Chain A
């Protein structure tokens, strides 16, 4: 075949033939999306396993955990966890979940797979950078996993890695030598992968929308991925410098974050002049937008999926998009609410508290729009729609606790207690993950050409929905009682009466975790044995449902898709007797 060398090639890259090119080093955004999903799936089960170990130790500290001494003879002699090993597992749990699960699954995995298709493009703008971004993330994951196996163990400073504990090196305690180095390097590599990914999403959304796909006609999920990628670009661009400076403090003897006169392990530390708060500012300037990176895609996914099963448009499409953008913008103004008690100027607490409370407004609007979209609907109850409804419930729960923490006066009491743990788990671990579950059940047919088992999916939903409330609602009560977080054991007088609550939470966590294996089984079984899916099993309107299941290599089989409608045309009378009109259908919805 002869092609002219101009870059207006009909296909950005030709279809691969070798196994390596098709499944390993693939330029196809669909394969890359599935690779991200696979990585997130592996990470979430590791992270969940870590949480089981933590919860068992908290409930029954003296009970030897089988096989744990095989993972670390030093960390868990005879299977009983040392306090430092608890903190290691806790640090790795948080790090793995926030970075490798919540940034990967709703954003990188589904976004990579579906953003190009939803906007009618053949692939991402830069397929080679896309491949590089996945493999960079994978390398970051491997470096992070290596921290489990170094002699001193993984770091114990939490996913927040506050200086100087994380910066002075091994004198501060176990895990803080090579383990912390690997952590810093891994996260720096992760930043680069994320930046490459964000770049791709932005360029793709701006430049590769097909004819007729104006920004106003983009599905909510695409909007969410776009806003998230902008947030992500600016946030990870700040975390990378922070990690570089941290690693330099640790290995090069600099003093960015370490003040003078510190005595650790009876040794005067050879640093001086550094600013402890500088780390916190840099970290949270990234860290707060990061939590919106974790939740926005799931908000977009749920907003995209819910109308399909209510058979009516989402209420207030422009308001919904406006709220996503507002949240993205405001997310950069609130980082100080993690630092109310940090010793920074007390006036700034009020300053940060105001935008923090204001950000509840777009979040409330989005929630109300979702609830009101259910009003008067003809709900089709599938696993996907149940997780959407569940999302609304858990997002309310998680958001409400934010009201308390956003106020400095109340934060004086609730800071660093289990109330905070309840809050962020509800919004991140639960709500965000519910969006991923909804997306999985919804898009699995498109991605694999087979349907997932609905009965198993419903069991998964009910056990998980009740389970997460059993795990995380009691944590609010613990927090109100003053139960401090990040404790490996509860020995204080006022905490001992709370241990039965911890035992309850542990049991709930183990059972809910076990229920996730139903999901895993369903994923794997359905991949090979699920009933064959049609092109549009859910009767949805967006572009991914205008192509085969799974889509061909170039997404649309060479067709240049033209878009005539927005994604919201549900509950309308279409000429062929359906109650929806596809985005690619030239038929215009009757004016309502």
Chain B
């Protein structure tokens, strides 16, 4: 029974680790400037914890295998050194790992959430609602119109509750259902929610941020490759949560300008 346990644990461990190492199912490409630091942090953690995982499971298997030896003459042994070296080793090794991860990781975190947005960021307003994302551009005047929730009229496409009749700045705001951005330009999003909590997750940009009703939350990134990728909601928001998504289209600067002019013309 002991040998069976050791074999099963070993097989499970090796198979599990294999899938991790082979990246059979893995993160998508990273097209952001802050992503590489996060990926690096993940790889480091994967290596460190992978070793701990392997070590722990295989040691357990080994000890169980040895302990199942039924020789009656065998004496019971205590782990060499007893508890104290183990405790000390755990504190020191795990402590070092903890400190390293915190130190390095806080830089990756800070780059995303603490660093201020770049001065020339393209500012886009994002609204989440049950069950869609909408994106608003300031238009040629460079000003966003005010938002009036009581004026929201989805049937007429007034998702944000703009008041163009009385608000000059709102007249040229562009509202679309896809996030279209130029490549290699710093983007600043301001997130707000119309109803309940939602979340903004773009795996390829390595960003995720909750929408919190009542708060305006900034998110900034720079996309480094063109293409069309998915934005999905990750905060349970009701029955349509699984279906709540939008696309982010990263275009070359000229293509973006063409697209924007086309939108503004409407």
Q: A530 contacts the other chain (Cβ, under 8 Å)?
A: no
Within 8 A of A (CB), among B6-21: 8-9, 12, 16, 19-20
On whether the beta carbons of B38 and A413 are closer than 8 Å, the reply is: yes
Residues of B within 8 A of A187 (CB): none
On whether the beta carbons of A312 and B212 are closer than 8 Å, the reply is: no
Residues of B within 8 A of A501 (CB): 25
Which of B9, B91, B195 neighbours the largest number of chain A CB atoms within 10 Å of its CB? B195
Q: B52 contacts the other chain (Cβ, under 8 Å)?
A: yes
Q: B59 contacts the other chain (Cβ, under 8 Å)?
A: yes
Complex: chain A residue closest to B247, CB-CB: A493
With A83-B240, A343-B212, A498-B25 in contact, do A361 and B197 touch (Cβ < 8 Å)?
Answer: no
Residues of A within 8 A of B79 (CB): 315, 372-373, 375-376
With A87-B241, A165-B236, A413-B27 in contact, do A386 and B5 touch (Cβ < 8 Å)?
Answer: yes
Residues of A within 8 A of B176 (CB): none
Q: B134 contacts the other chain (Cβ, under 8 Å)?
A: no
Q: A400 contacts the other chain (Cβ, under 8 Å)?
A: yes
With A83-B239, A477-B19 in contact, do A393 and B52 touch (Cβ < 8 Å)?
Answer: no
A163 CA / B213 CA spacing, docked (Å): 9
Residues of B within 8 A of A482 (CB): 27-28, 201, 203
On whether the beta carbons of B78 and A376 are closer than 8 Å, the reply is: yes
Q: B121 contacts the other chain (Cβ, under 8 Å)?
A: no
Complex: chain B residue closest to A354, CB-CB: B102
Q: Which listed residue, A172, A259, A349, A389, touches B238 by the CB 8 Å rule?
A: A172
Q: Which of B60-68, B137-145, B180-188, B252-260 contacts A (4 or more CB under 8 A)?
A: B60-68
With A386-B5, A478-B25 in contact, do A486 and B12 touch (Cβ < 8 Å)?
Answer: no
Q: A71 contacts the other chain (Cβ, under 8 Å)?
A: no
Q: B132 contacts the other chain (Cβ, under 8 Å)?
A: no
Q: A210 contacts the other chain (Cβ, under 8 Å)?
A: no
Residues of A within 8 A of B146 (CB): none
Within 8 A of A (CB), among B33-69: 37-38, 41-42, 45-46, 48-49, 52-53, 56-57, 59-60, 63-64, 66-68
On whether the beta carbons of B194 and A262 are closer than 8 Å, the reply is: yes
A10 CA / B79 CA spacing, docked (Å): 46
On whether the beta carbons of B214 and A376 are closer than 8 Å, the reply is: no
Chain B at the A interface: SS class: helix
On whether the beta carbons of A349 and B109 are closer than 8 Å, the reply is: yes
Q: A574 contacts the other chain (Cβ, under 8 Å)?
A: no
With A379-B67, A409-B109 in contact, do A165 and B245 touch (Cβ < 8 Å)?
Answer: no
CB distance from A274 to the nearest CB of B (A): 7
With A368-B86, A381-B2, A486-B241 in contact, do A416 and B28 touch (Cβ < 8 Å)?
Answer: no
Residues of B within 8 A of A316 (CB): 82-84, 86-87
Q: Which listed residue, A360, A365, A371, A487, touches B87 by the CB 8 Å rule?
A: A365
Which of A174, A376, A494 neighbours the largest number of chain B CB atoms within 10 Å of its CB? A376
Complex: chain B residue closest to A176, CB-CB: B238
Q: B190 contacts the other chain (Cβ, under 8 Å)?
A: no
Interface string of A309-345 (1 = CB under 8 A from B): 0111001100100000000000000000000011100
Complex: chain A residue closest to B69, CB-CB: A378
On whether the beta carbons of B25 and A311 are closer than 8 Å, the reply is: no
Q: B206 contacts the other chain (Cβ, under 8 Å)?
A: yes
Within 8 A of A (CB), among B120-150: 129-130, 149-150
CB distance from B44 to the nearest CB of A (A): 10
On whether the beta carbons of B52 and A400 are closer than 8 Å, the reply is: yes
Q: Which listed residue, B20, B67, B109, B150, touches A310 by the CB 8 Å rule?
A: B67
Residues of B within 8 A of A164 (CB): 195-197, 213
Q: Interface residues of A, CB < 8 Å — how many?
A: 107
Residues of B within 8 A of A277 (CB): 212
Residues of B within 8 A of A498 (CB): 25
On whether the beta carbons of B238 and A409 are closer than 8 Å, the reply is: no
On whether the beta carbons of B236 and A158 are closer than 8 Å, the reply is: yes
Interface string of B202-217 (1 = CB under 8 A from A): 0100111110111101
Residues of B within 8 A of A393 (CB): 9, 12, 57, 60
A274 CA / B68 CA spacing, docked (Å): 61
CB distance from A363 to the nearest CB of B (A): 9
Q: A412 contacts the other chain (Cβ, under 8 Å)?
A: yes
Q: A480 contacts the other chain (Cβ, under 8 Å)?
A: yes
CB distance from B157 to the nearest CB of A (A): 15
Q: A162 contacts the other chain (Cβ, under 8 Å)?
A: yes
CB distance from A291 to the nearest CB of B (A): 19
On whether the beta carbons of B201 and A392 are closer than 8 Å, the reply is: no
Residues of B within 8 A of A342 (CB): 210, 212
Q: B232 contacts the other chain (Cβ, under 8 Å)?
A: yes
Q: Which listed residue, B38, B66, B76, B154, touches A409 by the CB 8 Å rule?
A: B38
Q: Which listed residue, A174, A260, A361, touches B98 by the CB 8 Å rule?
A: A361
Q: B199 contacts the other chain (Cβ, under 8 Å)?
A: yes
Sorted nearest first, the 4 A-B pairs with minimum C-beta distance are A316-B83, A376-B77, A259-B214, A409-B108
B residues at A contact (CB < 8 Å): 1-2, 4-5, 8-9, 12, 16, 19-20, 24-28, 37-38, 41-42, 45-46, 48-49, 52-53, 56-57, 59-60, 63-64, 66-68, 74, 76-79, 82-84, 86-87, 89-91, 94-95, 98, 101-102, 105-106, 108-110, 112-114, 129-130, 149-150, 152, 154, 194-197, 199, 201, 203, 206-210, 212-215, 217, 230, 232-243, 245
Sample (8) of A-B pairs whose CB atoms are under 8 Å apart: A350-B109, A365-B86, A368-B87, A368-B89, A393-B57, A400-B52, A412-B112, A491-B242
Instruction: Identify 15 new A-B residue pairs, CB closer than 8 A, beyond the known A347-B114, A484-B234.
Output: A172-B130, A262-B196, A274-B214, A275-B214, A277-B212, A315-B82, A350-B106, A353-B106, A375-B63, A379-B64, A412-B112, A413-B42, A415-B208, A416-B208, A482-B201
